[in-house]
Amino acid sequence: MQTDYTKQAAEILEKFAVTFESQLLGDDCPKFCEDARKGNAMGEVNKFPRKTHIHGKHYLCTFRRLVTAGRTARTQSMTIDFWNSYRDEEQNYFVRNKNEFSPWRDASLPRELANLAKQYRGKKTVRPEAYDVLACLTKNHPSTFEDFCSEYGYDTDSRSAFDVYQAVLTEWGKVSAFFSAEEIEQLQEVA
User: For position 28, what pLDDT does the model report?
Assistant: 81
Name which of 23-32, 121-130, 136-145, 177-186 the model is least confident about: 23-32
3-state DSSP call for residue 68? strand
3-state DSSP call for residue 59? strand
Q: What does the pLDDT look like over 35-88, one tens digit per residue?
A: 766 766 666 666 766 767 778 889 999 999 999 888 999 999 999 999 998 889
Q: Other CB atoms closer than 10 Å to residue 184's CB: what's the count?
A: 17
- Can you count the helices (H) and strands (E) in the chain? 8, 3
User: For position 134, what pLDDT does the model report?
Assistant: 95
User: For position 166, what pLDDT does the model report?
Assistant: 94
Q: What does the pLDDT look like over 105-160, one tens digit per residue?
A: 666 677 777 788 888 888 999 999 999 999 999 999 999 999 999 999 999 999 88
3-state DSSP call for residue 88? helix
Check residues 184 and 40 and name the one with the higher pLDDT. 184
Name the pLDDT band for 26 (thresholds 50, 70, 90).
Answer: confident
Name which of 23-27, 56-60, 101-105 the model is least confident about: 101-105
